[in-house]
Amino acid sequence: MTATGPDLLLVVTSMALITYVLRAAPLLVPGTDRLPRPMIEYLRLVAPAMLAALAAVSVTVSLAADGAGAPSLRIGVELLAILLAGGIVAARQSLLTALVAAVLLAALARLLGVAS
Amino acid sequence: MIGTGDTESELRTARRRLLADTAPIAISVGAYGLVFGLSAHAVGMTAVEALAMSALVFAGAAQFAALGSLVGGVGLAGIVLLTAAVNSRNLVYSAALTPWLADRPLHIRALMGHFVNDAAFALTIAYFRRLGRADVWGFWWAAIIGTFLPWILGTIAGAMAGGAIPDPSRAGLDVVFPAAMAGTAVTLANDRRAVAAMIGAAPVAVVVSLVWHPGVGVPTGAVVSTLLAFAIRSGRPVAQVPASGDDGASPGVVS
């Protein structure tokens, strides 16, 4: 399911280091924020692309519990939930509202038995 | 209105305004932290692990993306690259704060660096401009009281409350982090080119993931879609992130 223990420690440490460098570099070494324009543009675009890819794959691609076998496609309420969340953010600029709506949609669908 | 910062009354007025501005942001950040804590518990992290991530990384969007990456089988390199991409705007925030804080001791600036994020930056830059000078008390208030403490407390509450929920999927909690990633993607896609990159990445990632593995599909979808998006003209912004100040900060979302 997820990394735990030492693997998670490595992930957290790596994330913390790169985040700190991005936050502190201009304060500590003025001028480090002047990256090449194409690199700045690439970073600007790859973030929403990566997040959208992660969201889509996490709700539509199933892996076997033991990791064996080919991934399979599943279409369910989870896909509707993330589309709803994206729509709410686009319309209302409120991520918290979007998350609450997505959770309620999934919970209601499962309570009513129309989704697993 | 930019003050001269020369009078005690101006300082008191500016600080009162900062306190008022901080309250709704702190509440929003705390709620977001609660959701992260619940999500972290849902994917098997302990409360200590969730707390460590929130304290050391202190970047909501990247943390949610990391949860999704871990579940999706994305490797360490992919997680680090995604973290860098999602948090790259902090470079701009720090650069905007540098002129105000350049005379502070190096070790103080090094400590401040950890706490730069959307909300802390937005509150701080507005406060400095209102005052007409840097007042470091304002930065620490915005950073610690406005964002760090609510984020940590929310994370702890969510991670511990998650243990009281026997089946998170029945409560719909399993959709929290994919929904958070989708919502954050929309927040970051503020022109035609970024929207194209975002929309194009999803189907490419799903197809490659089905043919190969999600650990390959996700970065492939992102890279291919981003490269193709360069062919599209940027155009006018299609979705504006709420801004505070002239530097395009987006309060309310811990980055």
- In the stretch 210-239 of chain B, residues with CB closer than 8 A to chain A read 210, 213-214, 217-219, 221-223, 225-226, 229-230, 239
Distance from the Cα of B132 to chain A's closest Cα (Å) equals 20
Residue A1 has pLDDT above 70, yes or no: no
Torsion, Cα of B190, B249, B50, A58 (10° steps) = 0
| DSSP annotation of B204 | H
Name every chain A residue with its beta carbon within 8 A of the beta carbon of B210: 61, 70-73
- Reading chain B (255 residues) residue by residue, the pLDDT tens digits are 445 555 888 899 889 888 888 888 888 889 889 989 988 988 889 999 999 999 999 998 889 888 888 887 788 988 898 898 888 878 878 888 888 998 999 999 999 999 998 889 888 988 888 888 999 999 999 999 999 999 999 999 999 988 777 676 777 878 887 888 898 889 888 899 999 999 999 999 999 999 988 878 888 898 899 999 988 877 655 544 333 333 333 333 344
- pLDDT for residue B240: 40
3-state SS assignment for residue B88: coil
ipTM of predicted assembly, 2 dp: 0.82
What does the alpha-carbon distance between residue B238 and residue B225 come to, in Å, rounded to a whole number?
A: 18
Helix segments in chain B, DSSP class H: 8-42, 47-56, 60-72, 76-87, 89-101, 106-113, 118-131, 136-140, 149-162, 176-188, 192-211, 214-229
Q: Residue B98 and residue A55: Cβ atoms within 8 Å?
A: no
Q: Given this model, what pLDDT does residue B104 score?
A: 93
pLDDT at B242 (0 to 100): 37
B61: which chain A residues are within 8 Å (Cβ-Cβ)?
A: 51
Min distance B103 CA to chain A CA atoms (Å):
11
Distance from the B238 Cα atom to the nearest Cα atom in chain A, whole angstroms: 9
Query: Are the Cβ atoms of B175 and A103 closer than 8 angstroms?
Result: yes
Q: Using DSSP, state whether A72 is helix, strand or coil.
A: strand
| Closest partner CB to A61 (pick from B188, B198, B214) | B214
Asked if B173 and B34 count as a contact pair (C-beta separation under 8 A), the reply is no
Cα distances (angstroms) measured from residue B64 to each of A41, B58, B170, B187, B231: 23, 11, 20, 14, 30
